[in-house]
């Protein structure tokens, strides 16, 4: 048997194993490709689930921040409405004051409830401080209205020329009563007891107020509230409203800081933070 025959015989014996190995290799390669496809599909599925979870968390955070923005703005509006009512109370009729004040105070308490569920600790601390001051305003508002409306009425009853030198009975009485009201809390008890009758006479003689209004002033005069000077204020300053603004401002700043994902205002102004500022 020559070399050619040997090669032919060897090739005949080797062909089945080679074919088998080739088939085995092809099968293995196909299985690896299938496994890679499965792994790729699983990874893609995991990626889709993760992306969906991230998107869901992001949407949830946005919804939570939108809810926080709405509740914060509602609380701020309620607080501002109370402060404006306290400012405007001296100009209202006596029978209207209590009802106006009570509704505004209740609105502040109601608006704080949802905020307590949503606000982070820092924001909630500022909200509660503002709420407590709103309670103080509500407590002092009626006495403040009595004193400030009396002061305004007496100023309107002064002499239009020179109140200090005028000898008109009504004008002089208005000026003296005005001085008494401004200086009353700084006097000793004996001085107030001594001049209380003179104050009542001047209030009546000024003819600036009705008997009911005078009775209201005298009721406050007899109690001499500790916050008298803050309630009556001055020609320029209004300490009660200044304190409100000093608590309102950090609340707004904390509310903005608590919502980094939310815009400070939307095109239609629905998310505008500062409601009408309280004039001081």
Residue whose entry in the numeric block shows the structure tokens 């939108």:
66
For 143-181, letters b (16+ CB in 10 Å) and e give: bbbbbbbbbebbeebbbeeebeebeeebbbbbbbbbebb
pLDDT at 96 over 80: yes
Tokens of 201: 């006479």
For the segment 80-109, the average pLDDT, to the nearest whole number, is 92
Report the pLDDT value the prediction gives residue 249, as an integer from 0 to 100: 95
229-272 residue pLDDT tens: 899 887 678 899 999 999 999 999 999 988 765 454 443 333 33
Rounded Cα gap, residues 113 and 104, in angstroms? 15
69-92 residue pLDDT tens: 899 999 999 999 999 999 999 999
pLDDT at 134 over 90: yes
Q: CA dihedral in degrees (36, 42, 47, 50; nearest 10)? A: -160
For the segment 153-167, the average pLDDT, to the nearest whole number, is 76
137-154 residue pLDDT tens: 999 999 999 999 999 999
What's the pLDDT band for 158 if we cut at 50, 70, 90?
confident
pLDDT at 43 over 70: no
Report the pLDDT value the prediction gives residue 260, as an integer from 0 to 100: 66
Report the pLDDT value the prediction gives residue 55, as an integer from 0 to 100: 52
Report the pLDDT value the prediction gives residue 4, as an integer from 0 to 100: 45
pLDDT at 218 over 60: yes
Average pLDDT of the chain, as a whole number? 78
């Amino acid at each position: 048997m020559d070399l050619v025959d040997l090669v032919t015989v060897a090739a005949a014996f080797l062909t089945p194993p080679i074919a088998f190995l080739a088939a085995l290799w092809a099968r293995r390669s196909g299985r690896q490709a299938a496994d890679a496809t499965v792994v790729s599909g699983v990874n893609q599925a995991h990626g889709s689930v993760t992306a969906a979870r991230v998107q869901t968390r992001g949407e949830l955070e946005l919804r939570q921040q939108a809810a926080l923005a709405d509740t914060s703005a509602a609380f701020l509006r309620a607080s501002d409405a109370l402060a404006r009512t306290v400012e405007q109370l001296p100009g209202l009729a006596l029978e209207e004051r209590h009802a106006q004040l009570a509704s505004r105070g209740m609105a502040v308490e109601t608006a704080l409830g949802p905020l307590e569920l949503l606000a982070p600790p820092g924001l909630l601390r500022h909200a509660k401080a503002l709420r407590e001051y709103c309670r103080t305003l509500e407590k002092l508002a009626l006495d403040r209205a009595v004193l400030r409306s009396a002061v305004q009425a007496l100023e309107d009853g002064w002499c239009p020329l020179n109140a200090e030198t005028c000898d008109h009975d009504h004008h002089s009485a208005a000026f003296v009563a005005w001085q008494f009201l401004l200086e009353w809390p700084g006097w000793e008890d004996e001085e107030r007891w001594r001049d209380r009758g003179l104050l009542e006479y001047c209030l009546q003689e000024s003819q600036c107020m009705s008997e009911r209004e005078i009775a209201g002033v005298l009721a406050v005069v007899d109690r001499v509230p500790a916050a008298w000077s803050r309630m009556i204020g001055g020609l320029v300053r209004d300490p009660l409203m200044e304190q409100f603004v000093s608590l309102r401002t950090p609340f707004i700043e904390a509310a903005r800081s608590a919502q980094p994902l939310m815009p400070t205002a939307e095109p239609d102004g629905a998310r505008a933070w500062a409601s009408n500022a309280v004039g001081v």
